[in-house]
Amino acid sequence: MAQHALLNNIEHRDLRIDTARDAALGDDVMFAITFPAEFRNVQAYYPIVFRKTAEGAFQPVALFGFQEGRNLFLQDGRWDAAYLPLAIERQPFLIGRDGEELMVHIDLDHPRARTGQGEVLFREQGGTTEFLDRITSVLLALHDGLQATPAFVDALLRHELLESFALDAELADGTVNRLVGFYTINEERLRGLDGAALQQLHRDGHLEPVYMAMASVSRFRDLIDRMNRSHAAGR
């Protein structure tokens, strides 16, 4: 169970955060949330698709595999991609509020905070380390990006640009992994938009992430290749 606490340089002076990449540290996940301003970095390595939350809202995610609890980018204690999505990098930290002020919190029950090894958060004099400064910037970027996501999703829905899809990934051994329950950009619908609609999307900053999400679909080939290598290695 999560145990969230406001981070401070007294109680957490000696706390260390394990930055290795491993299933035991919570990295063996199928996807992570992302946001339009991150799409350019994400699309170079991961498919960007959309899922429905329990509340029925659409949420963009970076896809790491075809099955729950299976991350094809985990390789021998490292993350096998040059870009780590911010929603993964920020663990085990999160943003909380003290009135109107945003504050850094930490989940003390997260496995990264319980190994007793890794990066320190505070210097001997009480100041923050470069690691914690980086985490703070990650949290702020993630917070701002997620705040902007609903307007982007609303624009997609207004123009009917989201469609459900199913992907059957046939592996070299003949087995098939079927991916369902996600949504992607309807390219035909996008091509059919008139100039005024496209101009509005561009003016609102939504057109570029739409194209980034569309381009990311090519990364499914990489996921299939990774699954084939995993099966061949018996993992």
pLDDT in tens, 181-198: 999 999 999 999 999 999
Q: Is residue 2 predicted with pLDDT exceeding 80?
A: no
Q: Is residue 98 predicted with pLDDT exceeding 90?
A: no
The amino acid occupying position 28 is: D
Q: Is residue 26 predicted with pLDDT exceeding 80?
A: yes
Q: Domain coordinates of the chain in residue numbers?
A: 4-232
User: Is the pTM value of this prediction over 0.85?
Assistant: yes
pLDDT value at residue 126: 80
How many whole angstroms separate alpha carbon 130 and alpha carbon 123? Answer: 10
Determine what percent of the chain is predicted with pLDDT higher than 70: 98
Rg value, the chain, Cα: 20
Dihedral (C-alpha) 82, 85, 88, 92: value to the nearest 10 degrees?
Answer: 100
Query: Is residue 169 classed as helix, strand or coil in its secondary structure?
Result: strand
Tell me the Ramachandran region of residue 26: left when phi exceeds 0, alpha when psi lies from -120 to 50, beta otherwise: left
Structure tokens at 138: 């990650």
The amino acid occupying position 118 is: G
Q: What is the pLDDT of residues 134-175, one digit of tens each?
A: 999 999 999 999 999 999 999 999 999 999 999 988 777 778
Residue 150 DSSP code: H
